[in-house]
Every structure is written in C-alpha cells, then in structure tokens.
Amino acid sequence: MSSEKTNQSWGGRFSEPVDAFVARFTASVDFDKRLYRHDILGSQAHARMLTQAGVLSEAERDAIVAGLDEIRGEIEAGTFEWRVDLEDVHMNIEARLTERLGVVGKKLHTGRSRNDQVATDIRLWLRDEIDAILVELNRLQAGLLQLAETEADTIMPGFTHLQTAQPVTFGHHLLAWFEMLSRDHERLVDCRKRVNRMPLGSAALAGTTYPIQRQVTCELLGFEAIGGNSLDGVSDRDFAIEFCAAASLAMMHLSRFSEELVLWTSAQFQFIDLPDRFCTGSSIMPQKKNPDVPELVRGKTGRVFGALTGLLTLMKGQPLAYNKDNQEDKEPLFDAADTLRDSLRAFADMVPAIKPKREIMREAARRGFSTATDLADYLVRKGLPFRDCHEIVGHAVKYGVDSGKDLAEMSLEELRRFSDQIEQDVFAVLTLEGSVNARDHIGGTAPAQVRAAVQRGRELLARR
C-alpha cells in the first residue's frame, strides 16, 4: 500500500491511506475544476447565509469571501496548484482557503456536504451554459431570417424521398430550419427552469441540524426555487439528462441541416457555395473543396446522443441517495454543452455567408415535373374529382417522360390529349412562379408569405 499523501478531510475513519492508483482513479479534479467559479460563488453565498444564521461572525464571513476571491484570482492566473490527492474542485479550493485562513477556512463547510455542494455547482454551471447556448441559437436564427428575406423569391425544388416534389422558394426552405430551432429554444428555456432549483441545504442526504436559511442562499445565487426534498436534491441528475435530451434534438436538427448543405455544395447539386473559410481542401486532389464544418457538425451529433445515453444509463440503477457513480455525470454533460454551443456558433457564422446559385436551383426545379400537383389542382377547380385528376396528370407525366418534355413545355394540344377541360390558362399554373405564388397562406411558400414569416420571426427574437 502506497504512503502517498491522500485526502485528510475524511481520514479520521481510516487506518491507512488510499492506494495511490485508487486516489487517481477516483479523483475528478482533472475535469471538475472547470466548476471553480460556480463552486466559489456557492461557497460565498453559503458563508453569507451562515452569518445571518449566527454560525459565522461577520469578520469570518468577510475573510472567507475575500479569501475565495483571491483563490479565484490564482486559478484564473494559472498559479493555483490542483492536487489529485484532494480529489475534486471542492476540496482543492477548501484546502487552499484553510491554508490561507487557518481555522476560519475550516468553518466554511458547516451545514453542507460535498453532495449538495456539487449538485449546486453543476446547476449553476449548466444555467450559465444554457444562457450562452441560447445566445448562439438566437444569432443563428437571425442569420436564417436575413438570408430567407434575401432569397424570398429564389425558386428551388422541394423534395420528398430526395426526389423532386414541388417547387418552393429557398427562403421558405430556410424558414423550416428557423421553426425547428425555435422549438429547440423553447425546450432549452423550459429545461432551464428545472435546472434553476437549488439543492444547497440538502447536505449529505437528510438536511442539517444547523439553523440554515435556504431562502437566503436561493436569492443570493439567483435560483428560482428551493429543492423540496433533501434526498432528491443530492441524488438525481434528471436536469442534466433533460438538457442532454434537448441538446440532442438541437444537434439532430443541425445534423439534418448539415446533410443538406453537404448535398447542396456537391457537384451533383451545385445549389450553394460556402465561403472558403468554412471549408478545407485535399492533400492529394487539388480540385477539392470540402464542406468540413457541416460534415463535422453532423459527426459531432453522435457525441451528444452518446452523452444522453450515458447519463440515462448512469442513473437508471442507482438507489437513493448520492452514489459515487454520479461523479461520471460531468464529463458527458460538459462535452454535450460544449459541442452544442460550438456547433451553433459555427452555423451562426456560416449561414449568413451562404451564396445560393439561383439559376441552377431554378433549373433543377424545372426538372422532375414539379408542377404536376398544380395541374391536378387546376383540373379539380374545373370540377373533376381529385382521384380522376391524379390519374390524368399521371398519364401526362408518362408522356412527358417518354417525350423528354416538362409539363410547361407541352403545347395546349398535347395537354388536351389527356383532358378536354384544359384551356390556355393552364400555363399560368404550370410556371414555377405560378406554383409558388399559389401557395399564399400562412406557412406557404409564396414569397409574400416568406417575407411575412421573416417579420414574425424578427418579432419573436425581439421578445426573447
């Protein structure tokens, strides 16, 4: 058994030090030290509350608060010594405070446990992360609105099964992503409400015998509510799981968006061009311009899905209350938040710089008989049943495939071979402009509706 120095905060019960490997294996300081700001904030609020409760004197409180400020300065200056034998961020900071203040530093932990301390730190950290993520999400949505307004009249093919279906406008297509991201925003805001509940005061699992005033720390730390059960407060991580679920949905949307950008930049589509700063080349093929940013975001989605699955698995077998398993909650949570924020930032920078190739988009919309449904609707307005119209247009499309003509390229005589209800006015509905303009309702692809949706989107962003 190694005699390497080990954590003495709980050493009174033990007759020998922890094995050196076990100390390293069970330590979390290498990754949880990123919680230092929130750990210090929580400790300062706890010290202020202990003073109001009569546990600390004002002089002791002031010494603790000032000492913690100085420790934060050391950490941010890179001069703080992080010790693995002290296990985690909490004990490292407390040990340094005790080193500076002596007995006063040892009083800070009165009325709390590392169990409620870490649960508080994670919630404070995640609250800030959600706020930062929402900033990037808003920025991406603003960029989508800007581009959608510019491209409100740009016609492109709309797809189902990745086959040409009906013409839409590029602006309308972009607004579909705006809508998805709006729901992601709602989910994150709603998740934040449950993150913002304070477990501090739960102590190890049963609360504390000291006369703590939880409302004081709740207000000092900006929590919206106090956790109502001490066992629950220290042991559950459903708020972290919920965040990873919301993050997974957001990343799924970004991944689908990425897939379209990858397709659209290919030589087979050539719908858009991405600026060089968001792409890379090939070490062997000089002609290549690879859409690395969307490809990487598409790949990083798996990391966030993995974090969600990992946290669900982590929690599913744990009895109440705190278990060492929960040390494994931080790395996947940290990674999920970092990945989502960085992916949104990359897209927020990239999307406004997308350059559509309008003529190629338009030409693609001309192919594939994208106005076939418009011809069927035209015949319905002439009084024919829709199913009969569907069959009539199907025959016309087959003729077009055989003759190499789009519907709009056929003569009136050719079209009338399939129905004598077809008149000269049919060509108004067979044009691409006629098709998109006809869908003039809320949620439709008509340019006027796209511009109206952009305005509604801007009003939504302004209300946030």
- Give the residue extent of every domain in the chain: 11-110, 115-362, 366-463
Q: One-letter amino acid identity for 234?
A: V
**Mean pLDDT (10-residue bins), the chain, 464 residues:** 47 71 87 97 98 97 98 98 96 98 97 98 98 98 98 97 94 98 98 98 97 98 98 97 98 98 96 91 80 96 98 97 95 98 98 97 91 91 93 94 91 93 91 93 97 98 97
What superfamily would CATH give domain 366-463? Fumarase/aspartase (C-terminal domain) (1.10.40.30)
Q: Domain 115-362: which CATH class? A: mainly alpha
Q: CA-CA distance, 252 to 18, in Å (whole number)? A: 44
The residue with tokens 């009338």 is: 416
pLDDT computed for residue 20 by the predictor = 81
Q: Name residues whose C-beta falls within 8 Å of residue 309's C-beta, 6 or more positions apart in sequence.
A: none
Query: Catalytic residue among 161, 283, 411, 441, which?
Result: 161
**Token duo for residue 5:** 């120095």
**Residue 282: active-site member:** yes
Which helix (H) or strand (E) element contains residue 198? strand 197-198
Asked if 337 and 243 count as a contact pair (C-beta separation under 8 A), the reply is yes
pLDDT computed for residue 23 by the predictor = 78
**Residue 43: active-site member:** no
pLDDT computed for residue 15 by the predictor = 67
Q: CA-CA distance, 52 to 55, in Å (whole number)? A: 8
Q: CA-CA distance, 18 to 324, in Å (whole number)? A: 16
Whole-structure pTM value: 0.92
Closest-CA residue to 340 (of 239, 240, 254): 254
Report the SS3 class of residue 165.
strand
Closest-CA residue to 328 (of 243, 237, 242, 245): 237
Query: Catalytic residue among 2, 282, 395, 403, which?
Result: 282
pLDDT computed for residue 6 by the predictor = 47
Q: CA-CA distance, 371 to 434, in Å (whole number)? A: 9
pLDDT computed for residue 26 by the predictor = 84
**Token duo for residue 291:** 């859409």
pLDDT computed for residue 212 by the predictor = 97
Q: CA-CA distance, 220 to 120, in Å (whole number)? A: 13
Collect contacts of 180-186 with beta carbons under 8 A, ≥24 apart.
Answer: 180/253, 181/137, 181/140, 181/141, 181/144, 181/250, 181/253, 182/141, 182/457, 182/460, 183/249, 184/137, 184/246, 184/249, 184/250, 184/253, 185/134, 185/137, 185/138, 185/141, 185/464
What superfamily would CATH give domain 11-110? Fumarase/aspartase (N-terminal domain) (1.10.275.10)
pLDDT computed for residue 282 by the predictor = 75
Same topology between domain 115-362 and domain 366-463: no
pLDDT computed for residue 280 by the predictor = 83
